[in-house]
Amino acid sequence: MHVRIVEITAPTKLQLNDFLDYLKIRHFPKNLIKGQISAKVFIINDEAVFVIARFNDKKSADKIKIMNNSKINELKTNLKLRSFEGPIEYTLE
């Protein structure tokens, strides 16, 4: 398993909500069809969230990233995105 964690910060609550609507309605459904396993969004505050996306492997994660690069670059003009990714070492539940 491979995970990508993205911290998203917007200048305003409205801009963040607009972006979250885009993720929920268009971005994640398309990604889930193309091989992403799951997407979770955690609210940090009114202008920031963490997104955790899980994939079968790095190859699948890279495929999704390349597929979305142009749209994400367009959206990044108003948002600050910081991402981390890597293989899942283990999960305890």
pLDDT tens digits, residue range 74-87? 777 889 999 999 99
Q: Determine the structural domain holding residue 45 and report its residue range.
A: 2-86
With a cut of 90, say whether residue 67 has pLDDT above it. no
Q: Is residue 50 part of a domain?
A: yes
More confident residue, 73 or 32: 32
Q: Is residue 22 part of a domain?
A: yes
Label residues 25-40 b or e (16+ Cβ within 10 Å = b): eebbeebeeeebeebe
pTM (2 d.p.): 0.85
The CATH number of whichever domain residue 72 belongs to comes to: 3.30.70.100
Number of domain units in the chain? 1
Q: Is residue 75 part of a domain?
A: yes
User: Which pLDDT score, from 0 to 100, does residue 31 have?
Assistant: 93
User: Which pLDDT score, from 0 to 100, does residue 79 have?
Assistant: 92
4: CB partners within 8 A, 6+ apart: 52, 53, 55, 61, 65, 83, 84, 85
